[in-house]
Amino acid sequence: MTGTGVGQEERLARAALTRLTEPGDETVGRWLRELGPVRLLRALTGQEPPPRGARAERLAGYRVRAATLDPAGDLAAVARLGGRFICPGEAEWPGQLDDLEDARPLGLWARGSANVRMWALRSVAVVGARACSDYGSHVAALLGAGLAERGWVVVSGAAYGVDGAAHRGALAADGATVAVLACGVDVPYPRGHTELLGRIAEQGLILAELPPGGHPTRSRFVLRNRVIAALTRGTVVVEAEYRSGSLVTARRARELNRYTMGVPGPVTSGLSAGVHELLREGAHPVGDADEVIELVGAMGEFAPRSRGPVVARDLLDSLAAAVLEAVPGRGGDTECVARNAGVDRDRTLAKLYELQALGFVRRQGEQWRVTDPPSTSGTPKPPGRRPAMRRGGP
């Protein structure tokens, strides 16, 4: 998988813009479309005439922040964490974020060894109430584990409650999980999830639109949700009160033609009221990972078929090739593959999920197996854009 490269000047400009502007600002998105990142940065920092129609207060704000810009420093900071900054058009850019149009992230700050694009292909968001019930955290953990065991990547927001339970369920099942934060990838928020975030950075991925050190605000939480919705094939809301932020994520997923799903709960529980509202709006009721996958796994075009690889084997990077080589003929668990490959467990896991997204291997329970080769010789075909999805499924 090679992608269009992005020049260093554009990379620096996009990194700077993530510090200068707010995530999801569609006006900025429109300017970016008109001017490109390099000229937009100059226009917002006073080195060029301002964008057409830009209001004075807005520009004044940008000028103030401009003094603090140090994109090279930010890139170095994320690199020290073993991370990177991924720009649209690059090989690792998850193309489904393009559905956000002018609200598309300017770039993604990432920690973790997995390929963001590959992981996003087979991913589901599991979100819900921070102050969830025992029922909510129980179901979220089961969903996280169940999705992981079936080879799906669990995406959530790392918040207390449902989010944390979903991440933990996936981690405990030796699975792949992605935390999309409303702050910098180096900011341990919420505080009580410092250790969890550390585990996710090792075994999974941490993504953010904000540069290192960026702090969460109320509006950033809300806007973060659109990234979770866009990145995944569908969003499951486990528990949510009326007016909960999780409902925003689910409704955004629906607008983006992703599947929206809700876990029913007792009608006597206010923590399920928002979910039931969602169900009345047409979301699919789901109770376990099988039911989720039955929905989101149905599309042919978006996901590589589970029957065989969609790219030629010689296009794999050397680590992926080594991991694939290390999967025993009769199958083996992650530990066993890691040992065979002589690669550490977390990086092995990252590659295994990438290989699964590409159709080379398949996870069933604890076991990884090499997929049977397809009957045709299989023209390499990169995963494309998914077709419009509606309730009832394609």
Q: Is 285 in the site for its own copies (CB under 8 A)?
A: yes
393 contributes a contact to its own copies by CB under 8 A: no
Nearer of residues 274 and 383 to its own copies, judged by Cβ: 274
Return the range that interacts with its own copies (CB under 8 A); candidates 110-118, 216-224, 274-282, 367-375. Answer: 274-282
Which CB sits closer to its own copies, 19 or 276?
A: 276
Choices 61-69, 112-120, 279-287, 356-364; region in contact with its own copies by CB under 8 A = 279-287
Q: How far is CA 256 from CA 13, 107, 164, 228, in A?
A: 28, 19, 25, 11
User: CB-based contacts of 211: which residues, under 8 Å, 6+ apart?
Assistant: 15, 18, 19, 71, 74, 78, 109, 184
b/e map 321-351, b = 16+ CB within 10 Å? bbbbebbeeebbebebbbebbebeebbbbbb
Contact with its own copies (CB under 8 A): which of 2, 57, 218, 268?
A: 268
Judged by CB under 8 A, which stretch of 14-22, 39-47, 149-157, 287-295 contacts its own copies?
Answer: 287-295
Q: What is the largest CA-CA distance in the chain?
A: 66
The crossing angle, in degrees rounded to 10, of helices 270-280 and 245-255 is: 10
Does residue 272 interact with its own copies by CB under 8 A?
Answer: yes
Contact range with its own copies by CB under 8 A, out of 148-156, 225-233, 250-258, 269-277: 269-277
Q: If we measure between CA atoms, which residue out of 79, 108, 102, 101 comes closest to residue 27?
A: 102
CB of 167 to its own copies, least distance (A): 20
What count of Cα atoms within 13 Å lies in the side-chain half-sphere of residue 338? 12
Question: Which window, 67-75, 133-141, 159-167, 180-188, contacts its own copies (CB under 8 A)?
Answer: 133-141
Taking CA atoms, 147 is separated from 202, 361, 375, 388, in Å, by 19, 16, 28, 23
Q: Verify binding: residue 138, its own copies, rule CB under 8 A.
A: yes
Subset of residues 358 to 377 that bind its own copies, contact rule: CB under 8 A:
none
| Residue 94 binds its own copies (CB under 8 A) | no
Taking CB under 8 A as the rule, does residue 265 contact its own copies? yes
Tokens 């290192």, located at residue: 212
- Should residue 279 be labelled a site residue for its own copies when binding is judged by CB under 8 A? yes
Residues in contact with its own copies by the rule CB under 8 A: 135, 138-139, 263-268, 272-273, 276, 279-280, 284-288, 291
